[in-house]
Structure 1
Amino acid sequence: MEIVAAQRLTFRYPDAAQPALTEVDLSIRKGEFVVLCGASGSGKTTLLRHFKRELAPVGNASGSVRYDGCPLSELPDGRAAEEIGFVFQHPESQIVMDTVWHELAFAMENRGYPQVVMRQRLAELSSFFGLEPLLQRSVHELSGGQTQLVNLASVLLLQPRLLLLDEPTSQLDPVAAREFVHLLRRLNEEFGVTVVASEHRLDDILPLADRLVVMADGRVRYDGTPGEVCRRIWASGDARERLYVPSVARLLAALDGAGTSAASASDAPLPLTVREAVAALDRLAEVRAPASEGSADEASEAAGMRGQATVGGAEARRQPAPSGVAQLRSLICLSARRDADGPAEALSCRDLAYRFERDQPDVLRRLSLQVREGELLAVLGGNGAGKSTLLQLMAGLRKPQRGKIAIAPGRRIGYLAQNPMLYFSSDTVREEFARAAVNAGYKSGAAETEIAHWSDAFGLGELSDRHPHDLSGGQQQKLALALALLPRPDILCIDEPTKGLDPDAKEAFAALLLQLREEGMTIVMVTHDAEFAARHADRCALLYDGEIAAAAEPPLFFGGNYFYTTAVNRAVRHRYPDAVTAEEVMRRWTTEAARS
C-alpha cells in the first residue's frame, strides 16, 4: 500500500516563466527506499517539499498529494509533525537552538514527550551517531558535516514513518556518507521507515535503494529499479543523461561495448556494487578481443564522459604514479619550500595553530602546507577535522593563534563558504550580480560585461528575475560561485563547491576551473567529493588530527585507500591498483587490448 502519492501535481513559483512541476504522478509504497535524482532545477526539492505539508512552497498548485490514503492537507497536525520527517539540503537552515543537546531535544519538547522518553531516545541516538562529545557544544562551532548529522539525529528522534531527505550526504565525508546511507537502509529494513532521498552522490546509495526516480524539467522521466533505470539511461545514448549512471556502471558499460545496438538492446541491469563490478571486469578480461590504438577515444565517447578538454588537460598533466624515493617524498607532509626551479608558492601556511575557545583543544596544530602557483589543490578530511577553518585562515577571515600565513605579493584572495545563502541579500538574481559588481569596483560598462560573462558561464540568465531563495540548491550554489568569481581573484578558496551540483553541472564547473587555471588562477578547494578531486585536482591533501597527514597527486593519494578513494579504484584495484579514474582505466584497458 502507498504511504504517499502525488497525482497530476503541477506547481509554478510566483512570476516563474515555467512550472517547477508538471503533472507529476508518483506513488511511494510503504517500506520502500527511493532515490530521486536529476539536474538542478528539475523539481526534486519542490516535489519533496510537497510531501511535507509545513514546507510546501508558495505558488500556484494543482493536483493532489495523499498520505496514508487521505489528503495530506487533512492530516492532523500531530501526525504530520511526527510521522513525516524532513532533512534540509542546507543544514544551517534547520538549526534553531543554541547547543547540540538543546537542538536534539527541541522537537521532542514541542511534542510534549515525557522526560524519561526524551532522555532514552537522546542517549540512544547520540551514541549511535557519535554525538556525545558535541552535546555541550554551541551549534555555531560545528562543521557543516557535524551540523548535518545533528539534523539527521533530531529528525529521527521523533521516529518518523516517512523520512524525506534533500541531499543528506552532500556535506559528509566519504566515511560518514557511507555509514549514513547504510544507517538509512537499516532504518528502512529493520524498522520499516519509508525513505525518499534526493541525491547527486549516487555511487554509495544506489546499490541500497529499491527504486530510482529520475526527474527532468519538472516531470518524472525514469522510474524503476536502480539497475534497470541505469540500463535504460545508458541505452538512450544521451551523453548528459549518462552522467547520472554511477561511475562504476558507466565504466563497465563502456568496457563491455555498451552503446552499440546489440548491447543497448540487452535487458541486463548494469552492475552497481563493487562486488558486481569486480566479477564483470574479470569476465570481460577473459573474453575481450584485441582493439586498435584508436579505440581509446571511441571507448571514452561510449562511456558518455563529456568535457574531454577538462579531463584530457588534467590527465595530460598527471603522470603515472611515482615509485620508490619519489613516492615517499610525495607522501611526506609538505613543510619546506620547493626547489628554486619548481613552481613558485602562491600561499604558504607554516606551523599554524587555531582553537575556537581557550579551554578547548586545538582544531589545527603545527599545520604546514604550501599552495603552488596555478594549481588546483583539493583538501580532504573527516567532518570536524578543520578543513573549513583552514580555508578561512587562508582567506584572512580568521587569524591563527600561532604560525604564519604568507601570500605572494599582489595576490587577491576570493572566498566561497559552504552555505550559499550567506551571499544573498537582494530580491532577485540580477540585483545580486549588480551589488557584487559594485563591491568589486567595476564601472557600469565593465560591470555589465562581467555580469553577462558569469551569468552565461553558470546558466543563470533565465533566472535573473527569480528570488535567490526560490532557486534550487544547485542553482543557489552556481549563483554563489558566480558572485565569488566576479571580482576575478588571483587565489580562490572554495568550500565544498560541488555540493548541490548535478553531474552535468560538475562537468561544466570542471571545465571552468581548467580555464581559470590556464589564466593563472590558483585554487584551493575543500571537498568531500573524491571522484571530482581525483579527476580534476593537481594535488590532494589530507587533513587529519590538526595537521596535513599527506599530500600527493591523485593516483598516489587515492590509490589503495579504503574510504578516501573513488568507486572506480575500489572496483579495479585488483587489476590496476593506482588507477583512480575511469579515463585511466579505459586508457590501460585499450592499451592492453591493442598489445594482445
Structure 2
Amino acid sequence: LETVKKINRDIGTTVLLTEHRLQDIIPYADRVFVMDKGNVYLEGTPREIGVKLKEQKHGMFLSMPIPMQIYGETDSQATCPLTVSEGRQWLSRYCNEKGIASDSQRKSESTEKVRYTKTDSSKKELSIQAKDVWFRYEKDSPDVVRDLSLEVKKGEFYALVGGNGTGKSTTLSLLSRVRCPYRGKILLEGRDIRSYKDRDLYCGLLGVMPQNPQSIFLKKTVLEDLYSVIGGRREKMSSEYQIHMKKEKAIEGIVSLTRLEGLLERHPYDLSGGEQQRLALAKVLLLRPRILLMDEPTKGMDAEYKEEIGKILTRLKQHGLTIFMISHDVEFVAEYADRVGLFFEGNIVTSQNTREFFAGNNFYTTAANRMARHLFPEAVTGKDVVTCLQSSNWTSL
C-alpha cells in the first residue's frame, strides 16, 4: 500500500483500487465510490462519504476507518478524523470540551468483573492441547514449529495472530492432522490425535475451514453441495450422518444459522467471498464438530459479512463449540475472541485474555486502542471507546 501511495503521490499515476479493509486506504483517497447492487451508490471525498453513509444508516459505514466510526457516534461539530493520528488529537479535544474524565481518573468496576468471570472459566476441561511440538517440512530444513505448547479450553474462542511466515497455518495443519509433528504430542479432548480413526476424527469431533473455501466445493448448486456432506438426499444413517433427524430439517437449520436463504440454487463459485465463507462453514457444521479450526475466515469480507460471521460464531460458542482461529484481522479478533496468542518464529510468545492482550500491546493492537489508549487504555474496540465517551464509568463494558 505504501508503494501504491508513492506511485500516486510522486509520479502522478492514477490509481483505481477496490478493497474491503479500508482502515489504511480511505485516508489517502481523493475520491471514494460506494457501489451497491451493481451501481455507484455514493461518490465524494472520504469525509463526505462517511457523513452520508452515517446519515443513511448504510451498512458500509461499518467498513469506514475506526476514528470515523467513533466520531459518528458523537455530537462533535469538528472536522471528522480519518487516521489514528487525527483521531487521537480529535478525541483529546473532544474529551476536554465535554469534561469527560480519562480512565486513569476513574475506577473501572466492570474490568474487575470481567477478570473475575474469566478466572472462573480456567476450571473448564481442555479441548486442544499441544505439548512440546516440533515440525519441519524436510529432514534438513529449518523447523517451522518450535517447541510449541498450547491449551484451548472447551467452549473457548481462541485466536492465533502474527505475521506472515511465522508458522500459524502450519500449526493449524498439525492440529487438524493434515501433517504430523516429528516430536511432541497433540491431544484433542484428552486423547492423542494419532489414535483417532479418520471417521471418528472428522465426523463429530473436528471441523476444519480452509483459507480458500472453494477448495471444499463439489457440486453445481449450494443445496447439492450441502447434501453432499451428509451422504446425499436419501434418508439413511451413515458415517457422515448419524442423527435421527430428517436431512431436510438438518439442512434447513444450518441454512438458517449461516443465512444462506435465497442462495440454494446458485453455483458456489458465483457467490461473493462472504457468502462462500458462510457456505463452507455450513458444510463443516453439518458434520456436527465439537472443535472448529478456521484459517483466515474473514479474508476478503466486508464489515457487514464479518459481523454476520461473528454473530454465527458467538452462537456456536454458546452451544459449547470450541473455536480455534488463525487471523490477521485484529479488529475482528478483538471483538469476538476470548483469548489471543501471538505467534512468532514457530512458537507462541504470549497468550492472554483478549482485552489484556490488545491493551498491553504497543505494536500489535487495534486502531481503536492506538487512538484512545492515552485516555482509555483498556478500550480495544470502537464500541469500547464510544461506551467510555457516553458513560461516566465502564459498567457497560
TM over 0.5: yes
CA shift at 1:289, angstroms?
Answer: 6.1
User: Is 1:358 matched with 2:139?
Assistant: yes
**Alpha carbons of 1:370 and 1:318: their partners in 2 closer, same or farther (altered >3 Å)?**
farther
User: Is 1:567 matched with 2:367?
Assistant: yes
User: Is 1:347 matched with 2:166?
Assistant: no
* Equivalent-residue separation in structure 2 for 1:485 and 1:317 (angstroms): 35
Equivalent AA in structure 1 for residue 337 of structure 2? A
Per-residue CA deviation, residues 119-138 of structure 1 (Å, 9 max, x unaligned), is xxxxxxxxxxxxxxxxxxxx
Question: Of 178, 197, 211, which aligns to 1:418?
Answer: 211
* Equivalent-residue separation in structure 2 for 1:247 and 1:279 (angstroms): 14
Query: 1:383 maps to which residue?
Result: 164
User: Is 1:253 matched with 2:46?
Assistant: no
CA shift at 1:412, angstroms?
Answer: 0.4
Query: 1:499 maps to which residue?
Result: 299
User: Is 1:288 matched with 2:107?
Assistant: no
* Equivalent-residue separation in structure 2 for 1:349 and 1:198 (angstroms): 40
* Equivalent-residue separation in structure 1 for 2:255 and 2:12 (angstroms): 45
Secondary structure of the corresponding residue to residue 493 of structure 1: strand
Aligned 8 A contact 1:380 1:543 in 2: yes
Per-residue CA deviation, residues 355-394 of structure 1 (Å, 9 max, x unaligned), is 1112210100100010111100000011111111111111
Equivalent AA in structure 1 for residue 302 of structure 2? D
**Higher alpha-carbon deviation: 393-402 or 456-465:** 456-465
Query: 2:189 maps to which residue?
Result: 408
CA shift at 1:435, angstroms?
Answer: 0.4
Per-residue CA deviation, residues 299-357 of structure 1 (Å, 9 max, x unaligned), is xxxxxxxxxxxxxxxxx9975797xxx9xxx9xxxxxxx99972211110011111111
Equivalent AA in structure 2 for residue 430 of structure 1? L
Aligned 8 A contact 1:490 1:522 in 2: yes
Per-residue CA deviation, residues 253-296 of structure 1 (Å, 9 max, x unaligned), is 21x227xxxx6xxxx763111121112111211221689xxxxx
User: Is 1:577 matched with 2:377?
Assistant: yes
User: Is 1:200 matched with 2:20?
Assistant: yes
Equivalent AA in structure 2 for residue 471 of structure 1? L
Query: 2:87 maps to which residue?
Result: 277
Structure with more relative contact order (C-alpha pairs < 8 Å, separation 6 or more): 2
Equivalent AA in structure 2 for residue 565 of structure 1? T
Aligned 8 A contact 1:477 1:500 in 2: no
* Equivalent-residue separation in structure 1 for 2:75 and 2:295 (angstroms): 38
Secondary structure of the corresponding residue to residue 21 of structure 2: coil
Equivalent AA in structure 2 for residue 503 of structure 1? A
Per-residue CA deviation, residues 79-134 of structure 1 (Å, 9 max, x unaligned), is xxxxxxxxxxxxxxxxxxxxxxxxxxxxxxxxxxxxxxxxxxxxxxxxxxxxxxxx
Equivalent AA in structure 2 for residue 514 of structure 1? T
Secondary structure of the corresponding residue to residue 334 of structure 2: helix
Query: 2:38 maps to which residue?
Result: 218
User: Is 1:369 matched with 2:150?
Assistant: yes
Secondary structure of the corresponding residue to residue 227 of structure 1: helix
Query: 1:548 maps to which residue?
Result: 348
Secondary structure of the corresponding residue to residue 499 of structure 1: coil
Equivalent AA in structure 2 for residue 566 of structure 1? T
Per-residue CA deviation, residues 443-474 of structure 1 (Å, 9 max, x unaligned), is 79532122222223333222222221222222
* Equivalent-residue separation in structure 2 for 1:237 and 1:469 (angstroms): 30
CA shift at 1:189, angstroms?
Answer: 2.1
CA shift at 1:485, angstroms?
Answer: 1.5
Task: For structure 1, list consecutive stretches of 5 or more residues without a partner in the other structure.
Answer: 1-180, 292-315, 331-337
Secondary structure of the corresponding residue to residue 128 of structure 2: strand
Secondary structure of the corresponding residue to residue 188 of structure 1: helix
Equivalent AA in structure 1 for residue 373 of structure 2? R
Aligned 8 A contact 1:560 1:573 in 2: no
- The two structures have a TM-score, normalised by structure 2, of 0.85
* Equivalent-residue separation in structure 2 for 1:290 and 1:364 (angstroms): 47
Secondary structure of the corresponding residue to residue 285 of structure 1: helix
Aligned 8 A contact 1:321 1:578 in 2: no
User: Is 1:449 matched with 2:249?
Assistant: yes
* Equivalent-residue separation in structure 2 for 1:340 and 1:243 (angstroms): 32
Query: 2:277 maps to which residue?
Result: 477
* Equivalent-residue separation in structure 1 for 2:163 and 2:259 (angstroms): 32
Query: 1:434 maps to which residue?
Result: 227
Aligned 8 A contact 2:35 2:41 in 1: yes
Aligned 8 A contact 2:100 2:389 in 1: no
Query: 1:524 maps to which residue?
Result: 324
* Equivalent-residue separation in structure 1 for 2:179 and 2:349 (angstroms): 22
Per-residue CA deviation, residues 482-541 of structure 1 (Å, 9 max, x unaligned), is 111221200000111111222122112111111111111000010111001111110000
**Alpha carbons of 1:288 and 1:529: their partners in 2 closer, same or farther (altered >3 Å)?**
same
> In the TM superposition, what are the counterparts of 1:21-170 in structure 2 within 5 Å?
none
Query: 2:179 maps to which residue?
Result: 398
* Equivalent-residue separation in structure 2 for 1:490 and 1:510 (angstroms): 18
Aligned 8 A contact 1:320 1:555 in 2: no
* Equivalent-residue separation in structure 2 for 1:244 and 1:393 (angstroms): 34
**Alpha carbons of 1:341 and 1:564: their partners in 2 closer, same or farther (altered >3 Å)?**
closer
**Higher alpha-carbon deviation: 198-207 or 584-593:** 584-593
Query: 1:229 maps to which residue?
Result: 49
* Equivalent-residue separation in structure 2 for 1:370 and 1:444 (angstroms): 34
Aligned 8 A contact 2:258 2:312 in 1: no
CA shift at 1:574, angstroms?
Answer: 1.4
Question: Of 218, 237, 244, which aligns to 2:63?
Answer: 244
* Equivalent-residue separation in structure 2 for 1:456 and 1:341 (angstroms): 33
Aligned 8 A contact 1:458 1:479 in 2: yes
Percent of aligned pairs sharing the same letter: 38
Equivalent AA in structure 1 for residue 209 of structure 2? L
Query: 1:309 maps to which residue?
Result: none
Secondary structure of the corresponding residue to residue 214 of structure 2: helix
Secondary structure of the corresponding residue to residue 561 of structure 1: coil
* Equivalent-residue separation in structure 2 for 1:415 and 1:345 (angstroms): 18
* Equivalent-residue separation in structure 1 for 2:25 and 2:168 (angstroms): 25
* Equivalent-residue separation in structure 2 for 1:275 and 1:383 (angstroms): 26
- The two structures have a TM-score, normalised by structure 1, of 0.58
Aligned 8 A contact 2:226 2:283 in 1: yes
**Alpha carbons of 1:557 and 1:356: their partners in 2 closer, same or farther (altered >3 Å)?**
same
Query: 1:515 maps to which residue?
Result: 315
Count of aligned residue pairs for this structure pair: 368
Equivalent AA in structure 1 for residue 75 of structure 2? G
Per-residue CA deviation, residues 396-443 of structure 1 (Å, 9 max, x unaligned), is 111111110011158701101101111112111111111012273267
Aligned 8 A contact 2:26 2:64 in 1: no
Equivalent AA in structure 1 for residue 69 of structure 2? R
* Equivalent-residue separation in structure 2 for 1:407 and 1:509 (angstroms): 25
